[in-house]
Chains A and B, each alone.
Chain A
Amino acid sequence: MRVSYLIKQILYQNKKRSSSSVILLLCIASAFLVFGGFALITLNLRTAAQKLKGEVQIEVYLTDQITSLEFHALLQKMRGFPEVEKVTYRSKREALTQMESYLGEDLLQGLDLSPFPASFLLGLREEHRRFKKVARVASRMQGEEGVDEVVFAGAWLKKLDRTISKFLIIDLVLGTCMALAIVLMVANLVGATVRTKAESIRIMSLLGASGADISLPLLMQGIFLGGLGALLSVLFLRAGYLILTSQFSGIEFLPAHLLLGMILWGMALGAGGSLIPARRLLRAWR
């Protein structure tokens, strides 16, 4: 059958069952909207976290007795870590100056010698700025000759990682539930179409319609509804995003490939949903 005829049939079927089709479209759009909303929150959270994590560094405090040999061996070792992007040395004097800038000069006035230890500041590559990886690097430095203490902002990094993971799990669970719901909703509507068209389908088969002739329009109907529902949700999301950005700045919108992925995913779910009654029909037909 020609594509133009199939499209005509799909539009006719949806027009005929317009109220069911509109309800289904809104349900699909709502499901994708909830999913897209959470994806949007996760995306912005991750972006914010990446910015914060850019400031994550490991501070390796050195003993006052560190020898030149130990110092260079330590530096060499740290530069050899694949996770480490940058190594900065902070002398005792620099540490004092930095502390003065935090606490004010008055408090530390009169100190001739800096009471603060010298240290190395290790900046990590972006892909390694996660709690477990940072802790692993820190533990490797612990106990090295010339190292007094290794410190990093573990607690908040752990919390941040956990929050992002939670959102990802929510996205995943939500995405799975949504996918199942859409498949069942489409299966239900296409199933209803099959039931009302049982006699027509029977006649078509008697006239020589193949399995593809019969199941293709059903499949296309599912693809159409799933794709259109997802497209609607993208439009709603965009509208919501525009309203939000008029109030708050710095919010990121979902990237184009993710939006396209949502529409394709909607079409795939629609196809999956319509395959259920189509397969049932073809089995019964056999």
Chain B
Amino acid sequence: MKELSAKVSSEDGPQLKHKVSSASRTHRESGHAVPDLPAPGDALLTVQRVSKVFDGKVTALDQVSFQVAWGEFLLLVGPNQAGKTTLLRLIASEEKPTQGAILFQGFDSQTIKRKEIPLLRRKMGRIFPDSRLIDDLNVFDNVALSLRMLGRGERRIRRRVPELLEMVGIPATGMRFPPGLSSAEKQKAAIARALAGDPLLLLADEPTMNLDEESADEILMLLREANLLGTAVLLATRHVRLWDGMLPRMLRLEKGRPVAPELDPPVADSDPQSLLCCQRESSK
């Protein structure tokens, strides 16, 4: 895991080579041109007073507001039915907010057109609780999916996918199909797939839900590593105990409401290695 950044190729992710002190300054390619580098602390994602009511009765989210800065790691915590998944679905434009707006890279949830949604999603990486790999495709093709949707050439894909699989620690699984993988391997493959398109923001929804503690630690470390390489991460989880000893900013939701929006100080100035140390210790 230590060698993670060294294994990233310069061609596909030149920006992944910078171990910048403030990840929020990292400029990500993701298949589009961004004219100016964002300033530290610039908002990558803005959620403004977002509410979601289903069928006019069930309030899943109520007046939620927060921002995610470039390269930030934000923890979205809360029990079941807190609205974490709904929030991630709204951010990925799977649903429209009933009220409020979500702003991401020039896209506004209220005005976004249907044909723009794929463009928005290509700038995000998604990790689901059940990994959601396509069973018909082998691991290689699953990871290559994002690259193919971005129109990358096959030669480039053949070089990039093994690098990603190596990076997440499952280099030998390329030709295997998801049903033959363990839960942890599936989730690692899902992370490789999510990172393949060099996303600006990684939306991870309970990625450790079905994993044992050791595997969960590995997955969280991978997310942290991805964050250290410049990708902003929004991690929805119930297992706060896994995060003892580290200092990511945290947003707590309960019954769709932010309980204490800014419980912890921003993580920008914290020691990025703290999680790694902590996780290595906890996994021993």
Contact = CB atoms under 8 A, between A and B. Distances in A.
A213 interface: yes
Contact of A208 (B114, B136, B146): B146
Contacts of A197: 136
A5 B152 CA distance: 11
Interface centre among A2, A12, A203, A211 (most CB of B within 10 A): A203
A4 interface: yes
A111 B119 CA distance: 100
Interface string B134-165: 11110000000110110101100000000000
B176 interface: no
A1 B149 contact: yes
A153 to B, nearest CB: 66
B118 A208 contact: yes
Contacts of B146: 207-208
Contacts of A209: 118, 149
Given A200-B134, A206-B126, A5 B154 contact: yes
B136 A200 contact: yes
A99 interface: no
A6 to B, nearest CB: 9
Given A2-B153, A2-B154, A286-B114, A208 B132 contact: no
Contacts of B133: 203
B148 A206 contact: no
B27 interface: no
Q: Is the contact region of chain A dominated by helix, strand, or loop, or is it mixed?
A: helix
Contact of B197 (A200, A204, A206, A208): A208
B149 A207 contact: yes
A79 interface: no
A207 B151 contact: no
Contacts of A2: 148, 151, 153-154
Contact of B119 (A199, A203, A208): A208
Nearest to B31: A208
A207 B148 contact: no
Contacts of B153: 2
A113 to B, nearest CB: 92
A207 B121 contact: yes
Contacts of B94: 206
A1 B146 CA distance: 10
Contacts of B136: 12, 16, 197, 200
Given A1-B151, A208-B146, A203 B132 contact: yes
A206 B121 contact: yes
A110 B104 CA distance: 112
A213 B150 CA distance: 10
A88 interface: no
A207 B114 contact: no
A4 B151 contact: no
Contact of B121 (A12, A200, A208, A286): A208
A210 interface: yes
Nearest to B114: A286
A137 to B, nearest CB: 62
Contact of A4 (B121, B135, B154): B154
A200 B137 CA distance: 9
A128 to B, nearest CB: 56
Contacts of A206: 92, 94, 121, 126, 132
B115 interface: yes
Contacts of A205: 118, 121
A200 B134 CA distance: 5
A286 B94 CA distance: 10
Contacts of B52: none
B49 to A, nearest CB: 26
Nearest to A1: B148
Nearest to A203: B132
A2 B121 CA distance: 20
B193 interface: yes
Interface in A78-115: none
Nearest to B125: A207
B154 A207 contact: no
B122 interface: yes
- The winner among A4, A206, A286 for most chain B CB atoms within 10 A is A206
A207 B115 contact: no
Nearest to A196: B136
B157 to A, nearest CB: 9
Please provide the 10 A-B residue pairs with the shortest distance between their CB atoms, ordered closest to farther.
Answer: A208-B121, A208-B122, A210-B118, A200-B134, A208-B118, A203-B132, A1-B148, A209-B149, A208-B149, A213-B149
Given A4-B154, A203-B133, A207-B146, 15 more contacts: A1-B151, A2-B148, A2-B153, A16-B136, A199-B134, A200-B136, A203-B134, A204-B145, A204-B149, A206-B94, A207-B121, A208-B120, A208-B122, A208-B197, A211-B118
25 contacts: A1-B151, A2-B154, A4-B154, A5-B154, A200-B134, A200-B135, A203-B132, A203-B133, A203-B134, A204-B134, A204-B145, A205-B118, A206-B94, A206-B121, A207-B126, A207-B145, A207-B149, A207-B193, A208-B120, A208-B122, A208-B149, A209-B149, A210-B118, A211-B115, A213-B149
